[in-house]
Structure 1
């Protein structure tokens, strides 16, 4: 934790710095508001202690500037003048607390820690809603490939190095990112995730970097971007291979300089977030094709974690299935106890081109149609999913969509239409997630929606 102390009296600054160091807190000192502005632009701080009376820019004006610039750290106003109106003004401008000199250093530290803990909790709650769908049970599996991945995560836990997670769709790339965050030195900070492929190109830059009021038509207020929201934690860039080339240059500069500039802004701001990127695409091939910058690839590919497909770690299927069934029981109010041995063998024999996500879908259907606490093999619908790797057609659909009400077999077109509609309803219209579940690209899904004239 790093604290900024702003006070025009040198002795006060040094006394506070020494006491904070005894409490395990790092700190910097600024003698006035202008010096504080410079330090805030150059470094990340978890909290600020600001004196009320200072020559030039006073404490109230500095707090107002901090909030206008979008800095979210807690602020405690300190003053030798205990007037109520000063405290009220400071709180209105964005201070979280007010303390009068002379003060007890221990009391100040207690208040400071409480405010920082509250801010961390608030960030976690806010960013939780922004994260993309993930497999919440953690990194499940004891097979040799998964043991190796866990070893790598342990080795890089205390390193701020950028990580690139690769693997097929549905293998659990966000799970790995969350695991890295959870064991890192930034585990107490927020985990912010953004699906690059799920954000329209014209909005992606403002989502990542934020914007200033008046930066463009409709920018009526300042917006804080994902890089700033992730300060003190981890920013997970899912589907990095879908990043438009126009933004790749800016992303490269951010990774090089560790600074961002909001749209419409002029002052670069430091970022203090670990970057984890993920993709199911072959970035090396994209580099050779000229669709992904080589220099950006090397900036991202500092530490590489390649997730194996589920068909290459079938020994993990029973463990994965057990964890998924426990979650489904909680969510759906069922009491499924286990899979029958023949059901486990059937799952192990399945190719699982949809990986863990396909396993979840199969088990969810099985829980619905199971007649008792044990799921038997004949309840598993293993016909749904992808017929072969790289397939760009939807080969089949759940068993209860396989025929008309009169028992007549449906055409491939009818099956595809129903599969598309069902997936889009399940994902609440999210085309990227629906395409992943169907095993086709987002562009193919959009083309099929247009081809079948689906009003979705």
Structure 2
């Protein structure tokens, strides 16, 4: 196999020499030039497996080089060398097609990791392979033949080939984490960790420790060193779900960690270099939050280099039957049985429904229907889709969460509201309904001497429905 070659473009002799020595020790051949004109000539003369270019050059800019390579030499990954803290230039370079960026002064260890990742990417482009091997199961996991989903799949493939931060926009339940995983698995970081974190689930006072880690004794309760999420994702991808939920003080710290590619654990004296790709998502309008002063504009621009919108289910109704069949097969695999069949009226009811909870709601509806149906067929009444008025159309109903009162389930309906003796409004409706179910089930079990078949008959539901309820409510 021939020696891989790297082109370095920088007008500073010290930087050219540093990169030449460092890359040479990695058994790479290096050509180093100092101007845009020399770079054009070198690119025209030979193929390069990787290119580094400075931002400012005597006869032009590194941006010109990036755009040239993206247009005429797209098999060659290119990384921008930026001045310390010049985030705007880095973001612009990534949008133009740069693979990644390196800040001056150059961190040698970070540089080596970047080179290994970039060369792996170049090899995959050349052979047409992906880091995770053949894309078996790719289409199966992102279901849909609609034009919008074909576009999403195509975009995922393109985004997987660089290291630019991606912001995944979409409503709750559309599959934003799945999209993030696919971007990770289709790219050169596939062998590294994929670390998802729900930013809204971490208490504010614990966020810094969770993200950056801490040293033993740094605060009360810190009985041992702890690795943070950035360190856990080192060499892979960190997925920041519900990023809009980050408090402002944490947004500042996160921005610095992303810019400097380093974190300082609580109680540590020195920063630790981290090599992670950042993917983020939220169902909220992040741009509107920036306008309202609730989200930092500089962080928004840093994580939103490229935006990928995942469409809601109502914009791809033709995909609903495919998704339904896939979910039913998965449910059958879990239970070890054969998939139930949707009757035509049930299929039509699903296609006509708006799905405010999107794919997640579809899964919940079908899981409940499988538990409640008789035999191996699901009809429209088994779906128990809520009757939605125009006023309710924008609000999720009780049914989307997969909860139903036992007494209502016997008749295929779900109470639209709790009875008159329901507790005060500060008690969650889901919890209230679950308590009703638990009480009714326990009473039926006691009266039937814990014969589940007899208990199901008393409740007016199938044995399979009772088994589902017992599992859901945690009743042994």
Common fold by TM > 0.5: yes
The answer to whether the aligner puts 1:412 opposite 2:417 as a matched pair is: yes
- Once residues 378 and 413 of structure 2 are traced to their aligned partners in structure 1, the CA distance between those partners, rounded to angstroms, is 28
- After superposition, the Cα gap between the structure-2 partners of 1:409 and 1:355, relative to the gap in structure 1 and judged at 3 Å, is closer
Deviates more, 1:373-382 or 1:238-247: 373-382
Equivalence map 1:232-311=2 (5 Å): 232-311=235-314
**1:170-229 CA-partner distances (Å, limit 9, x unpaired):** 111001001101101101111111111111111121111111112111111111011111
Name the residue aligned to 1:70: none
Name the residue aligned to 1:324: 327
CA-CA distance at 1:370 after TM superposition: 2.3
- After superposition, the Cα gap between the structure-2 partners of 1:193 and 1:293, relative to the gap in structure 1 and judged at 3 Å, is same
Specify which of 345, 358, 361 is matched with residue 358 of structure 1.
361
Conserved? CA contact 2:382–2:412, under 8 Å: no
Aligned length: 311
Conserved? CA contact 1:339–1:376, under 8 Å: yes
CA-CA distance at 1:157 after TM superposition: 1.3
Equivalence map 1:40-439=2 (5 Å): 43=110, 138-383=141-386, 388=392, 390-391=394-395, 398-401=403-406, 403=408, 412-414=417-419, 417-420=428-431
- Once residues 300 and 193 of structure 1 are traced to their aligned partners in structure 2, the CA distance between those partners, rounded to angstroms, is 15
RMSD: 3.8
CA-CA distance at 1:169 after TM superposition: 0.6
Secondary structure at 2:392 match in 1: coil
CA-CA distance at 1:142 after TM superposition: 1.6
- Once residues 197 and 246 of structure 2 are traced to their aligned partners in structure 1, the CA distance between those partners, rounded to angstroms, is 12
Conserved? CA contact 1:192–1:234, under 8 Å: yes
- Once residues 406 and 141 of structure 1 are traced to their aligned partners in structure 2, the CA distance between those partners, rounded to angstroms, is 34
- After superposition, the Cα gap between the structure-2 partners of 1:405 and 1:335, relative to the gap in structure 1 and judged at 3 Å, is closer
- Once residues 407 and 164 of structure 1 are traced to their aligned partners in structure 2, the CA distance between those partners, rounded to angstroms, is 41
Conserved? CA contact 2:405–2:433, under 8 Å: no
CA-CA distance at 1:249 after TM superposition: 0.6
- After superposition, the Cα gap between the structure-2 partners of 1:39 and 1:182, relative to the gap in structure 1 and judged at 3 Å, is same
CA-CA distance at 1:330 after TM superposition: 1.6
- Once residues 214 and 323 of structure 2 are traced to their aligned partners in structure 1, the CA distance between those partners, rounded to angstroms, is 42
Name the residue aligned to 2:88: none
- Which consecutive residues of structure 2, in runs of 5 or more, have no partner in the other structure? 1-20, 30-104, 114-137, 437-476
Secondary structure at 2:168 match in 1: strand
CA-CA distance at 1:237 after TM superposition: 0.6
- Once residues 175 and 435 of structure 2 are traced to their aligned partners in structure 1, the CA distance between those partners, rounded to angstroms, is 21
- Which consecutive residues of structure 1, in runs of 5 or more, have no partner in the other structure? 1-13, 23-37, 47-134, 426-456
- After superposition, the Cα gap between the structure-2 partners of 1:286 and 1:374, relative to the gap in structure 1 and judged at 3 Å, is same
Conserved? CA contact 1:329–1:336, under 8 Å: yes
CA-CA distance at 1:263 after TM superposition: 1.2
- Once residues 357 and 420 of structure 1 are traced to their aligned partners in structure 2, the CA distance between those partners, rounded to angstroms, is 20
